[in-house]
Amino acid sequence: MSDGQHVDLHLHSTASDGALAPEAVVDAARAAGLAAIALTDHDTVGGVDAAIRAGQSLGVRVIAGVELSAHDGAMEVHLLGLHIARVDLMASALARFRDDRVTRAEQIVAKLNAIGVPLTVDAVLAESGGGAVGRPHVARALVKGGFVADEREAFYRYLATGKKAYVDKPRLEVADAVRLVHEAGGIVVWAHPGSEGRRERVERFVAAGIDGLEVRHPSHNADDIDRLTALADFFRLVPSGGSDWHGQPGARAIGMMNVPAEWLAVQERRAESRRAA
């Protein structure tokens, strides 16, 4: 249980591939004693308004956020847009990416059909609940259809990179993703850099305009955290952290990274500076 002095700035809901509605995510944050959260669904801000309303009712501050998939050369990276001031502007910009996600899901289903797996697009879209559709929804539809035993098997047999039903995501370059977030009044944090968070790449992302690094994440070990903290200090980037919780039972728990509320204030100052520039 948190003491009200911690935040979780990386959470997902049914607006993308999370298991809980935005309101339920906020309620879980309240139960965990968190002072604030950021809802950061994949390529959509569709759950933000509902989460903010729930937060006002439950006494949990909700930061408007998003998690964007972008590319740096051949490598896919995830970027968190946090403290988004113009949610409407971001929603309009992301509409094209939602359409691209549906097209990708259709292509995955077509590949599955071609190898004898009679999954339907409607079954996949039903799993997304009208949110941003992704491979986890295909995996869940495969489980419900009885084609695989669990989601892990779905990825191992069909959906992981290089497997028979894998389809690349449409490409969004890092600089373009940064521009989208800045235009909507937010700041950009490189999500879970892990071992890829080395000085050369961080320096390149700084040149593209990123504002921060996700220092605390469940996938990071102690060496990762120390290295990323040092890089954030050196490049004057704001620190961030979160559980990347998707509302499902398992090793991760909301608030588990004990991110200090002070980091939120640091981020807010950076966001205000960006908007004033």
Q: From edge to edge, which strands make up the β-sheet containing 238-241? A: 238-241, 212-216, 187-190, 75-82, 61-72, 36-39, 6-11, 259-260
Let me know whether 17 and 127 are in one domain: no
For residue 240, what is the domain's CATH number? 3.20.20.140
- CA distances, 89 to each of 22, 84, 177, 184 (Å): 20, 9, 14, 6
Distance separating alpha carbons of residues 229 and 24, to the nearest angstrom: 32
Instruction: Determine which of 58-67, 167-176, 189-198 has the lowest per-residue pLDDT on average.
Output: 167-176
Interval 69-122: pLDDT, tens: 999 988 999 999 999 999 999 999 988 777 888 999 999 999 999 999 999 999
Interval 212-259: pLDDT, tens: 999 999 999 999 999 999 999 999 999 999 999 999 888 799 999 999
Let me know whether 86 and 200 are in one domain: yes
The Cβ of residue 68 has, within 10 Å, a number of other Cβ atoms equal to: 25
- CA distances, 167 to each of 3, 221, 275 (Å): 43, 30, 37
Q: For the chain, what is the domain count?
A: 2
pTM: 0.82
Would you place residue 1 in the very low, low, confident or very high pLDDT band (cuts 50, 70, 90)?
Answer: very low
The verdict on residue 151 lying in a domain is yes
The verdict on residue 166 lying in a domain is no
Three-state secondary structure call for residue 190:
strand
The verdict on residue 10 lying in a domain is yes
Number of Cα atoms under 13 Å in the Cβ half of residue 102: 12
Beta bridge partners of 39: 11, 64
Interval 131-167: pLDDT, tens: 778 899 999 999 999 999 999 999 999 999 999 999 9
Which residues span the domain enclosing 122?
A: 95-159
Let me know whether 82 and 180 are in one domain: yes
The verdict on residue 164 lying in a domain is no
- CB burial class (10 A; 0-12, 13-18, 19+) of residue 264? buried
Let me know whether 193 and 237 are in one domain: yes
Question: Nearest 10 degrees: CA dihedral of 114, 118, 121, 126?
Answer: -150
Let me know whether 155 and 236 are in one domain: no
The DSSP line for 35-72 is SEEEE--BT--TTHHHHHHHHHHHT-EEEEEEEEEEEE
The verdict on residue 183 lying in a domain is yes
Three-state secondary structure call for residue 96:
helix
* Sign of CA pseudo-dihedral 205, 211, 216, 218: negative
For residue 136, what is the domain's CATH number? 1.10.150
Question: What six digits make up the tokens of 224?
Answer: 């990762």
Q: Are strands 238-241 and 75-82 parallel, antiparallel or unpaired?
A: unpaired
2 pLDDT above the threshold of 60: no
Helices of type H across the chain = 22-31, 48-58, 87-114, 121-128, 135-144, 151-154, 174-183, 199-208, 222-234, 261-276
Per-residue pLDDT averaged across 166-173, rounded?
87
Would you place residue 53 in the very low, low, confident or very high pLDDT band (cuts 50, 70, 90)?
Answer: very high
4 pLDDT above the threshold of 90: no
